[in-house]
A and B are shown apart, each in its own frame.
Chain A
Amino acid sequence: AQSVSQHNHHVILSEAASLELGCNYSYGGTVNLFWYVQYPGQHLQLLLKYFSGDPLVKGIKGFEAEFIKSKFSFNLRKPSVQWSDTAEYFCAVNAYNQGGKLIFGQGTELSVKP
Chain B
Amino acid sequence: EPEVTQTPSHQVTQMGQEVILRCVPISNHLYFYWYRQILGQKVEFLVSFYNNEISEKSEIFDDQFSVERPDGSNFTLKIRSTKLEDSAMYFCASSEGLENTGELFFGEGSRLTVL
Residues on A facing B (Cβ under 8 Å): 32, 34, 36, 41-46, 49, 90, 92, 94, 96-107
Contacts and interface: CB of A to CB of B under 8 A. Distances in A.
Contacts of B106: 36, 43-45
Contacts, number: 68
Interface in B63-115: 91, 93, 95, 98, 101-109
Contacts of A32: 101-102
Nearest to A43: B108
Nearest to B43: A104
Contacts of A98: 101
Given A44-B91, A99-B31, A101-B56, A90 B43 contact: yes
A31 to B, nearest CB: 9
Interface of B: 3-4, 31, 33, 35, 41-45, 48, 50, 55-56, 91, 93, 95, 98, 101-109
A49 B54 CA distance: 26
Contacts of A45: 106
A106 B40 CA distance: 8
A101 B103 contact: no
